[in-house]
Structure 1
């Protein structure tokens, strides 16, 4: 993929550039301020922008505000936000419009190279990669349980494992059921929660948000 990086830490920026290059991606620009990020995106129209939340001059929210601008003005550019903390209000703004092609990871996850590169690929291909802590914080803003009472006990178990970030294969192993059964349960969950028939990644995130905002998710 063609990537632009915005990170004010010289060491982390260089590390990300080396990591992405070694993984076969083309790093078009590596900058340390939000204005430079916006200029680089406008100039290169990359596949993916990796953005630090806090950058100069105030080190508050310049990066995430720039990410929101990119999402609005360059809809074809995927955005992966990296943050030391969950910027709850701006994370909600990022997700409010659409979750496709969006990632929000805490920097602790970047230390796990495989997890980070997997998120880069997932977001770059139009998917969603949200840190579980980000999801949990967002759900403190809006706690809902609509439709969860329609789920069977098995469907609730499947949804709980999805909320833990488990893959379908991992869920099948944990519950000792076939992969086909997991897919059927997930399809039923989407239907019962009245989630729109969009890409599965999007509906998966919405289902997790619904679950974590309920009494079930707080147990």
Structure 2
């Protein structure tokens, strides 16, 4: 896999380069500013971009806004945000375009190498990888949505895991539920949130992420 990294901390940037190289990937560019990220993606057309939220010169949300710009220019651009912060407004915009191929992980919660590499592979393949804390904050932001109040506690748990990108079988394992129960909960969630069905393979991701962007 060909990867671009945008991270302003030198040690972390070089650590990511080493980690990804050692696990069989190719880092085609490692940059430290948002403009350099845009240039690197335009030049190399990577399979995935790993992006920090706060980059020079302002150290506010330059990386996330650059990721949005990349996705607007090419919806198939794969972006995995790895940050210390949850920028809710822009994060919702990034995650809720419904196309998949996006993720948002918090640095201080990435403690398992296998989980991080799984997130990298999942996002590059067009799926999603969302930190549970990011999901929690986005769901909290949207508690005013009428459909949320209609969800049972179990349905909210299922929705949370769906938004993280878990499959039905993974949700079964996490909540100790039978497959038929999980399928029933998911059906109820979509009905209560007023999310119509679709035939594409990203139906669950598209619907959940679209919901996360509602206010």
1:36-75 residue pairs with structure 2 within 5 A?
Answer: 36-75=36-75
SS of structure 1 residue aligned to 2:49: strand
Bigger CA radius of gyration: 1
> What's the C-alpha RMSD, in Å, of the aligned pairs?
2.7
Find the counterpart in structure 1 of residue 207 from structure 2: 203
* 154, 159, 169: which one aligns with 1:157: 154
How many residues align? The count is 207
Q: When the two structures are superposed, what TM-score results if normalisation uses the length of structure 1?
A: 0.80
**1:67-119: CA deviation from partner (whole Å, max 9, x where unpaired):** 11111112221111121111122213323433511111111133321221111
Structure 2 unpaired stretches of 5+ = none
SS of structure 2 residue aligned to 1:30: strand
Residues 147 and 63 (structure 1 numbering): CA distance in 2 closer, same or farther, change over 3 Å?
A: closer
Asked whether the 8 Å contact 1:128–1:202 carries over to 2, the reply is no
Distance (whole Å) between structure 2 residues aligned to residue 163 and residue 145 of structure 1: 15
**1:1-56: CA deviation from partner (whole Å, max 9, x where unpaired):** 22111111111111111222233222111111111111110011112111111122
Structure 1 unpaired stretches of 5+ = 214-219
Task: Point out which structure has higher relative CO (alpha carbons under 8 A, 6+ apart).
Answer: 2
